[in-house]
Structure 1
Amino acid sequence: MKRNVIYIGMLLMGTIAASGCSKVLDKRNLSAISDDLVWNDENYAAAFLNKLYLDNLPSWDINVSSHSDEASPEAGNQAILYGQLISTSIDEWHYAQIRSINLAIANLEKSSLPLETKNSFKAQAMVLRAWRYFEMVRLYGGVPLVLRPQELSEDLYLKRASTSECISAIVADLDFAEANLPWHWSGLDEGRFTKAVAQALKGRVLLYFASPQFNPNEDQGRWAESYQANKQAKEELAAEGYGLYESYADLWFDEMNREVIFVKRFQEPSVVHSWDASTRPLSEAQNFSGANHPTWDMVLAYPMATGVSIDDPNSGYDPIYYWKNRDPRFAATIAHNGALWELSGKSGRKQWTYEGAEANAPTLSGFYCRKAVNESYEPFFTERSSTDWIELRYAEVLLNFAESAAETGRLDEAYDVLKQIRHRAGIAPGNGQAYGLKPGMSKAELIAAIMLERKLEFAFEGKRYWDLRRRKLFDQELNGKRRKGLLPKLKVSSAQFDQVKDQFDIDTQYHLYFEDEVINVDRVFDINFRDNYYFYAIPNRHLESNSNLEQTIGWDGGTFDPLK
C-alpha cells in the first residue's frame, strides 16, 4: 500500500471534531497551532514533515529529455541546446523551501519528543535540504549557504559560499541522515528516506563533484572520495537486500521493489502526474501529448542482443529491420512504426507512425517512449497516473561506483558492474561471459562504455542531460549537429495497406510496404550548447535583491568562480 501524505489541515480537522463537545470558552484558537504544540506532538511534527516531502521531492519531468540527444525538441526549453539562454533563463532558487526545512530542523532540536524520534525527523528534513542544495549547486556552483532560520534583525544579504563549502554541507547533512535513519520502512511509511537514500545520494553528489564540470584539473582525491562513498553504498545496500530488480521493463510498475531507493510516491486521486498522457500518442491520451519522442540517434545507440555495437560489421544488424535482435532494453523503451503496443488495454494494438497515420499531433521523430507508460490506463487516467517516480535506483549506485572505479584505475571492478547491468538487461553473455564488451579497454574507452551504458539504462529517466553536463560532453557529442528522426513512408496507397494491416507481419514484410527516411528534428538551428552553460547565470532578480551576490564567471559582469 502506498503511503498517504498527511496534511496539517487534516489533523486540525480531527482535533476540532474531537473537541466538539467542550465549552466554547475553553477552546484554544483553532485558526492556528502553536509551535510548542506542533514540535512537541509526534503527529503534528510528522504532518509538517510530510508537507516538506510533498513540497520538495523530485518528480516526473516531461521536458528534460529534450535537453539532450534522447528526444526531439517538441517540448522543453530549446534555448539550452541552441545557445540562446540569457541570464534570466534558468531560475531554480529554493530558499523559500529551505527556510521551511530549516524551521523544522531548528524546532525539532528544541523539541521534547523522544531523542530517536526527533533525530529521525531531523534526518529526513536534512535529506530534503541536501537535495535542494544539490539541485542548485549542479546548476550554478556555490550558492548562499543558509543552515538555520534567519531572523529579520540579522544581515540577510549573504554571499555565495564556495562550491566546495556547499558540497561539504550537503555531505554533512547526508552523514547525519545515514546515522539516524533505518535501512527500511514498512506499511504506510514505505517511501520515507532511509540509510540507503543517504548513502546513495551522497555517492551521486561526490560523483558530480569529481566530474569534469566541477573538477577540470582531475583532482584524484575527489575521485577517491567518490569511489569510497559509492563502494560503501554498493556493498551495504546489497547486504540489506537492495539490488537489481529481475525485470527491467517492469521495475516502474512493481512498486517499491528491491531496486527502488529514492522515490516519490503517487496515489490517484490525491497525488497524481501526467507522464503517461504527455508521453503516449494523443489518440490514447487526454489533454497532453508531444513529449519524450525518442530520436533516431537514441535508437541507434542500443547494441544488438549480443551486446555488440550495431557498427560492428559482424553484429548482424539489419538497417531496414532495425528493431530485430537488439538489446532488450530497446523494446522496453522504444515504440516504432508497427510495434505491438497494447495501450488502453487494446489487445493486438499496433503503433503506426508512418506519414499520414496519425491525424492529430503525430510524433515528429517517428518514435514514442514506452518507459514507465502504463499500457492498461484508459485515456482518462493518463493525466492521473499514480506510477511512482524513482529518482535513484540501485542500477545508478552500481554505475556511479563503476565510473569512480574506472577513474581511479580499478578497471576490473568497472567491468564487473557493466556485466551485471547487461546481464539484468537480458543481453547474451557470449564467449568469455563478456556481454559484448570489448576486452582490454583502456581507461578512456571504459569510461565511454560506462557513459553509453548510463544512456541506455536510464533512458528517459532525466539522467542523460545531467550526465552530459557533469562530464562536459555537449561539445564532443552534440554541438554542431542536428538530432534525427525516422519518417516511415508507405510504398503503397493507404487504402491498399489498410486491407492488409491487420495481418501485417512487421518482422518479414516491412520492406514490402515501407521505406524509411532519416529527417532532422532540429529544423532551424544546429545544437550549440555554450561553454558557460556548465554553470548557469544567477537570475537578475536575485542579484537585484541581494547586493552581495556575485554573478558567475562567463556571464555579464561575472566574478564568482564556481570551481572553488
Structure 2
Amino acid sequence: MRTKYIKTIISCFVVWAAVCFSSCEKYLDKDDQTNISEKEAFKNFTNFQGFTEELYNCIVNFSNNYWTNSWNWGEDEITSTAGNFHFIHKIDDGNFWGWQSEFDGWGSGWMNQSDFTTSTTPDNRFNKDLWNAAWYGIRKANIGLANMDLMTDATQEEKNLVKGQLLFFRGWFHHRLMEYFGGLPYIDYVLPSTGDIRLPRLKYSECADKAAADFRAAADLLPVNWDETVPGKRTLGKNQLRINKIMALAYLGKNYLWAGSPLMNFESTGSKTYNTEYCKKAAAAFGELLGLTESGVTPYSLVTFANYYKNFYTTGEGWALPGSTEAIFRGPYYSANNSNWGTSKQYTPLVVSEGDLKFTPTANYVDYYGMKNGLPIPDITQPDTESGYDPHFPWKNRDPRFYSDIVFDGVKFVQGAIPNVDEQPNRYANLYTNGSYRNVGTGSRTGYVLIKFVPKTANKYDNAYSWGNNLHIYVPYMRLADVYLMYAEAALMGYGSSSGKDPNYSKTAEDAVNIIRQRAGVEKVNSKFLGAPDNFLPELRRERAVELSFEGHRFNDLRRWLLLTKQPYTLKKSVEFDRTGTFNQTDASLNSVANLREVTILERKFSDKHYWLPLKNVDVNMYVEFSQNPGW
C-alpha cells in the first residue's frame, strides 16, 4: 500500500482515491457498456464541457466547509475557549504542521481533510480541501488540454470556451498552492503513470510566470459574459459562476502582485523589497479589468453601501447566492442552508445564540477602523485632535464600515421579544468588561462581535437563521473592491508614487483607494499620506484591512508583506472599559466609557520559517528535488 501511494503521488500529485481515469481496483468490474472512448468524451462542446464542469467542484467553499469554520489566521480574529481544534489555534501556537490531516485527523478543515472526494459526493462539503482538490484539478485540466484536438464537432467559439476554462483552472490551482507553500513544480502536461519523475521545485517567480501565461491565454480566449455567447445562451441566466475574461484578468493581476510582493520576491531573488516590474504587470492586468468594468461592458460593479451585506449573505431572497454584482470569483454551492448549521451561529455569544464556539474580532484589529473623516486613530486610549477621536466616546464618528461590520458595547442586538424576564438585559450588547457577552468560553473574549457575515437578528430570539428566513452565507474569493485595492498597491509600488498609474488606465493608486472610501461614506485619503510609497503604503494597507476585513485575506497579506513575525501583528488583544454616564438605548455610539485600555490576550511566537507552511513529509521524501520549506 505504501509503495502504491508513493507511486501515485509521484505520477499524479493527487491522492490515490481521487485520480482521474486511474485503473484502481473498484473500476475493474464495471460493465463494458459504461466505457466511453476519449474520442466520444471530447468530441463536442456538450461532452467536453461536462468533463470540464468537475473542475468547479474542486473550488473549496472555505466559509462553509464544516459546522463552524476558520479562515482568518492573521491577528484579526480569536475564538472563545470552548474549542481548540480549528487551525487558528494551531497557528497561534506556531504549529503550522497542523494544516495537515495526518497530524490530528482534522487538519485545517478546508485546506486538508482526511477523507477527500470530488465527483463521488459532490454535495459533501466536509470532504473538500485545497491540497487534494488542487492537485486533482491540475491533472484534470492537463488531461483536457491534451485532448483539445479531439474536439472536432465544435465551433471555434466552443473550443475557446473550453480551453480558456482549462487554462484558468491550471493557473488558479497552482496559484492557490503557491500562496501557502512557495515555488512548486508547475505541472503543465499529463504526467505518465510509470517512470522516474523528478520534477524540481521552481522559484516563486518561475511558477508565477507560468501561471501568468495560463491566465493571460485564458483571458484572451474567454468572453466577458457567457450569456452573450452562443453556447452560453443554452444555459442563459445560469452562467454567473462560469470562468470568464474578468476572472482571468483578476487572477493574472493578483498572481503578478503576489510575485512582486516582498516575501515572494525574497524567495525568488533574495531581495526583501517589492519587485517593481511584477507590480507594473499587475497594474496593467488590473487596469485592463477595471477599464472594462467602468465602461459598463461587464456585469460587475460595486454594490451600494446600503447593500454591502449582499457581498456576503442574503436573507429573505429564496436562498439567492450572495455576491450581488461585486463578487468576481466564487465557487459553486450545494445546499444554501448549510451555512445555517454553523456559520450563522459562530459569531453571536451563547447568551443570545446557539453553539459554544465563537469567533470574535480582536480589539487591535478593530483599531484599524478609523474615523469617518478618513483619518486613523493613533492610540485608542488617547484623544486625537486631528481625527477628532475621543477615548471617552470611542464609538463615535467612526468609519461607517465599523458600524456595518462590528457590534460594540450597547448596540441593540435583539430586536424582538425576549420571553424570559431574566434575559431582558441581553437585548443590548453587554460588551463592557465582565458584561454578559464577555464570557471567555462561549462569548466574546475581546469586547467586540462580528456581524459582517450575519445580520444582528441571527440570534435565538429573532431567529434569522431559521429555514423560513432563507439566510445564505457565502464569502467570495475575490470581489471588485479587492481588485481596486490590489491595483492601488501595484500602481503605487510599480510607479513609485500615490499618483502612479498604469499608462492604459485612467486612475491613480490614490484614486482607486478613494473609490472604495467614497462607496463607504469615508472621506478621501488625507494629503499627508500622499506622495512616496513610505507615506501612502501604510494607509493603503489599513484601507485593505478595513475593507476586506475577516474575508480570509489578512494572513496571506501579512505574510507577503513580511510583517507576520513583527509586532504589533503578532498580538491579539481585548478592549477593557467600564460604562459611565446615561445609557443611550437609541444610539450606542453616543455612550461614554471610562478606564478604556487594551489587554494582550496572547502573543504569537513566530520566526522566519512561519512565512511558509510546511509541505507533507511523505511528499518531500519522494525525491531530493522536492525539498521541504526552510526551517521545517
In the superposition, the TM-score normalised over structure 1's length comes to: 0.80
Alignment of 1:248-259 (within 5 A): 248-253=308-313, 255-259=322-326
Alignment of 1:162-177 (within 5 A): 162-177=203-218
The letter for the 2-side match of 1:555 is G
- % identity of equivalent residues: 23
Cα distance in 2 for residues equivalent to 1:178 and 1:84: 39
Aligned with residue 451 of structure 2, among 366, 370, 377? 370
Match of 1:327 in 2: 399
Q: CA deviation at 1:183?
A: 0.7
Seen in structure 2, the aligned counterparts of structure 1 residues 76 and 549 have a Cα distance that, compared at 3 Å, is closer
Match of 1:409 in 2: 496
Cα distance in 2 for residues equivalent to 1:269 and 1:504: 34
Alignment of 1:444-459 (within 5 A): 444-459=534-549
Cα distance in 1 for residues equivalent to 2:402 and 2:417: 21
Alignment of 1:223-234 (within 5 A): 223-234=279-290
Q: Secondary structure at the match of 2:476?
A: strand
Aligned residues: 508
Match of 2:238 in 1: 188
Seen in structure 2, the aligned counterparts of structure 1 residues 345 and 384 have a Cα distance that, compared at 3 Å, is farther
Q: Which deviations, in whole Å up to 9, do the C-alpha atoms of 1:7-39 show, x marking residues without a partner?
A: xxxxxxxxxxxxxxxxxxxxx856555544432
Match of 1:64 in 2: 71
The letter for the 1-side match of 2:558 is L
Match of 1:199 in 2: 249
- Larger RCO: 1 or 2 (CA < 8 Å, sep 6+): 1
Seen in structure 2, the aligned counterparts of structure 1 residues 224 and 269 have a Cα distance that, compared at 3 Å, is closer
The letter for the 2-side match of 1:252 is F
Match of 1:264 in 2: 331
Seen in structure 2, the aligned counterparts of structure 1 residues 518 and 236 have a Cα distance that, compared at 3 Å, is same
Q: Is the 8 A contact 2:59 2:332 kept in 1?
A: no
Cα distance in 2 for residues equivalent to 1:110 and 1:400: 39
Seen in structure 2, the aligned counterparts of structure 1 residues 269 and 79 have a Cα distance that, compared at 3 Å, is closer
Q: CA deviation at 1:437?
A: 4.9
Q: Secondary structure at the match of 1:518?
A: strand
Match of 1:357 in 2: 436
Q: Is the 8 A contact 1:285 1:379 kept in 2?
A: no
Match of 1:560 in 2: none
Alignment of 1:328-477 (within 5 A): 328-341=400-413, 350-354=428-432, 355-358=434-437, 361-375=442-456, 378-380=464-466, 386-407=472-493, 408-412=495-499, 413-428=508-523, 434-438=524-528, 440-477=530-567
Q: Is the 8 A contact 1:286 1:379 kept in 2?
A: no
Match of 2:184 in 1: 143
Match of 1:486 in 2: 575
Q: Is the 8 A contact 2:75 2:362 kept in 1?
A: yes
Q: Secondary structure at the match of 1:188?
A: coil
Q: Is the 8 A contact 2:61 2:333 kept in 1?
A: no
Match of 1:521 in 2: 601
Alignment of 1:518-557 (within 5 A): 518-522=598-602, 526-552=603-629, 554-555=630-631
Match of 1:52 in 2: 55
Cα distance in 2 for residues equivalent to 1:343 and 1:403: 41
Name whichever of 374-383 and 482-491 sits farther off. 374-383
Q: Secondary structure at the match of 1:340?
A: coil
Seen in structure 2, the aligned counterparts of structure 1 residues 381 and 37 have a Cα distance that, compared at 3 Å, is farther
Name whichever of 182-191 and 84-93 sits farther off. 84-93
Q: Is the 8 A contact 1:277 1:382 kept in 2?
A: no
Cα distance in 1 for residues equivalent to 2:521 and 2:492: 24
Q: CA deviation at 1:486?
A: 2.2
Seen in structure 2, the aligned counterparts of structure 1 residues 471 and 343 have a Cα distance that, compared at 3 Å, is farther
Seen in structure 2, the aligned counterparts of structure 1 residues 152 and 267 have a Cα distance that, compared at 3 Å, is closer
The letter for the 2-side match of 1:369 is L
Aligned with residue 123 of structure 1, among 164, 183, 205? 164
Q: Which deviations, in whole Å up to 9, do the C-alpha atoms of 1:165-184 show, x marking residues without a partner?
A: 21122111111211121112
The letter for the 1-side match of 2:619 is H
In the superposition, the TM-score normalised over structure 2's length comes to: 0.72
Is 1:309 the counterpart of 2:376? The answer is yes
**Unaligned ranges ≥5, structure 1:** 1-27, 429-433, 493-499, 557-564
Cα distance in 2 for residues equivalent to 1:296 and 1:315: 19
Cα distance in 2 for residues equivalent to 1:165 and 1:425: 39
Alignment of 1:5-16 (within 5 A): none
Seen in structure 2, the aligned counterparts of structure 1 residues 189 and 503 have a Cα distance that, compared at 3 Å, is closer
Cα distance in 2 for residues equivalent to 1:472 and 1:303: 24
Q: Secondary structure at the match of 1:77?
A: helix
Cα distance in 1 for residues equivalent to 2:205 and 2:585: 62
Name whichever of 450-459 and 208-217 sits farther off. 208-217
The letter for the 2-side match of 1:300 is D
Match of 2:200 in 1: 159
Name whichever of 202-211 and 418-427 sits farther off. 418-427
Q: Which deviations, in whole Å up to 9, do the C-alpha atoms of 1:296-332 show, x marking residues without a partner?
A: 1122211111112223423221223312110001011
Q: CA deviation at 1:47?
A: 3.4
Q: Which deviations, in whole Å up to 9, do the C-alpha atoms of 1:409-459 show, x marking residues without a partner?
A: 24222222222121111114xxxxx45452544321111111111001100
Seen in structure 2, the aligned counterparts of structure 1 residues 205 and 477 have a Cα distance that, compared at 3 Å, is farther
Q: CA deviation at 1:506?
A: 3.3
Seen in structure 2, the aligned counterparts of structure 1 residues 446 and 36 have a Cα distance that, compared at 3 Å, is same
Cα distance in 2 for residues equivalent to 1:235 and 1:345: 50
Seen in structure 2, the aligned counterparts of structure 1 residues 184 and 64 have a Cα distance that, compared at 3 Å, is same
Cα distance in 2 for residues equivalent to 1:490 and 1:32: 72
Q: Which deviations, in whole Å up to 9, do the C-alpha atoms of 1:231-256 show, x marking residues without a partner?
A: 22222332234332222344334745
**Unaligned ranges ≥5, structure 2:** 1-30, 81-85, 101-107, 113-130, 228-236, 315-321, 379-383, 419-425, 459-463, 500-507
Match of 1:38 in 2: 41
Cα distance in 1 for residues equivalent to 2:183 and 2:395: 45
Match of 1:3 in 2: none
Seen in structure 2, the aligned counterparts of structure 1 residues 177 and 450 have a Cα distance that, compared at 3 Å, is same
Seen in structure 2, the aligned counterparts of structure 1 residues 57 and 507 have a Cα distance that, compared at 3 Å, is closer
Cα distance in 1 for residues equivalent to 2:33 and 2:339: 31
Seen in structure 2, the aligned counterparts of structure 1 residues 345 and 422 have a Cα distance that, compared at 3 Å, is farther
Cα distance in 2 for residues equivalent to 1:341 and 1:158: 56
Name whichever of 124-133 and 227-236 sits farther off. 227-236
Cα distance in 2 for residues equivalent to 1:104 and 1:43: 14
The letter for the 2-side match of 1:403 is E
Q: Is the 8 A contact 1:276 1:285 kept in 2?
A: no
Q: Is the 8 A contact 1:344 1:379 kept in 2?
A: no
